[in-house]
Amino acid sequence: MEKPRRRRRVAVIVLLASLFAGTALPAWSVTDEDVEQARRQREAAAAERAAALTDLDAAVAAYEAINVEFAELTFRIGQLRSLMDSYQQQSDDLQDQVRNRAVEAYMHGDRSEGTILFATGSIEQAVMAQEILAKSVEGEVESLDSLLAARAEMERLEAELDDDSERLADLRFEAELVAARMNELFAEAEAQLAQADSVLASTEAELAEQRRREEEERRRQEEERLRLEAIARAAAGPAGGIALSLTPGFICPVDGISRFVDSWGAPRSGGRTHKGTDLMAAQGTRLVAVANGTVSLGFNSLGGNTVWVHADYGVGFFYAHLDTFAEGLRNGDRVSIGQVLGTVGDTGNAAPGAYHLHFGMAVGGGASNVNPYPSLRAVCP
């Protein structure tokens, strides 16, 4: 009967291992499609930036054209002012000559006509007096013509200067508008591209981190699968115990001097066999947790005061015949390696005064006991 029961227990453990190994990886929030979408958005932003830069190029070209015209007008206005200054000087010189000739005419000839010429207040009146001047200063008519031409040219140049100055003011305004638009286009394009770059970088980083976690989870699941398979193999040959690598951090459950032998399978009352190791120790010696996990406290006629430590890695450790439980310890409490669980005693079916800890080890949720002696021999003094 024992072998079929053992085979059933091993089958249960193998089934648990296969179910665990088949557990799906957790679902993560970022996918390759998310990264691809971010990349497409970045490409769209780059395209918009290129279009904006095309507009910017056009704006720059317009600005350059305005700037060229602006420079030409500025130079032209400077030339006009120089010409006007020259004509003004020439006009002043010619008018002085005309006045001098008029004075001479007055002094040497027709005083009434000379007076009229001398009193002229405009170029037009001077033209009317040209014949009078010709009678007395026949050689200076050319000077008077030059004076009239200079004045006319100055009037024309002044009109051009006014027009050019007005155009120059318009160009200044246009240039300010174009420059403002250039700055606006550039700022918008750069901001959009920077935002798209940031989103893409963030998404790629998140996906990389997610893949790292997925790979870590796969590795952990593979390690757990291999561990459960090893436990299943140990359950198939329980007398050999299990490797310490399957019980990380395992320590001696008796915090003090103890003596024990490999009594696995030794006969017990009622036709039973021994499914653990008895560690003989002084009454009241502290008993400690051999793993991190949760505890279950109990009492029965065979084991007396008992404690189960259900390790986080799936192995159960059984303590029996305790004299006392640790103060404040309750069912379901979490314990850490080395935490005191109680003290050595002789409760249950232990012979009076035969103080010891019955220590058991079970795998597959307690479905199969395995020999704890090899593990205890490796860590207990």
* Residue 135 predicted with pLDDT over 70: no
pTM, two decimals, is 0.52
Which of 21-25, 155-159, 242-246, 310-314 shows the lowest mean pLDDT across its residues? Answer: 21-25
- Are 303 and 350 in contact by the 8 Å Cβ rule? The answer is no
Alpha-helical (H) ranges within 109-140 are: 111-118, 123-128, 130-136
Question: Residue 269 to residues 261, 305, 320, 350: CA-CA distances in angstroms?
Answer: 19, 19, 16, 12
Q: What are the DSSP calls for 311-360, one per residue?
A: ETTS-EEEEEEEEEEPTT--TT-EE-TT-EEEEEB--TTSPTT--EEEEE
Q: Cα–Cα distance between 181 and 189 in angstroms, integer? A: 12
Strands (DSSP E) contained in the chain are 277-280, 286-288, 293-300, 304-311, 316-325, 334-335, 340-344, 356-363, 368-370
Q: Cα–Cα distance between 138 and 123 in angstroms, integer? A: 18
For residue range 235-282, list pLDDT tens digits in order: 778 888 989 988 999 999 999 999 999 999 999 888 899 999 999 999
How is residue 70 written in tokens?
Answer: 């602006």
* Residue 301 predicted with pLDDT over 70: yes
pLDDT band at residue 25 under the 50/70/90 scheme: very low
Q: Cα–Cα distance between 285 and 322 in angstroms, integer? A: 10
Determine the pLDDT at residue 12: 46
Q: Cα–Cα distance between 1 and 284 in angstroms, integer? A: 39
Determine the pLDDT at residue 277: 97
* Residue 10 predicted with pLDDT over 70: no
Options 3.40.50.720, 3.40.50.970, 3.40.140.10, 2.70.70.10; which CATH number does 240-379 get?
2.70.70.10
Q: Cα–Cα distance between 174 and 170 in angstroms, integer? A: 6
The helix/strand/coil state of 304 is: strand
Buried b (16+ CB within 10 A) or exposed e, 34-66: ebeebeebbeebeeebeebbeebeebeebbeeb
How is residue 339 written in tokens?
Answer: 């935490």
CA 86 to chain centre: 70
**Helix-then-strand count for the chain, H and E:** 7, 9
Calculate ∠ Cα 262-278-350, nearest 5°.
140
For residue range 311-347, list pLDDT tens digits in order: 998 899 999 999 999 999 999 999 999 999 999 999 9
The answer for residues whose C-beta is within 8 angstroms of residue 366's C-beta and 6 or more apart is 308, 316
Q: Cα–Cα distance between 168 and 74 in angstroms, integer? A: 8
- Are 361 and 317 in contact by the 8 Å Cβ rule? The answer is yes
Domain limits, the chain: 32-203, 240-379
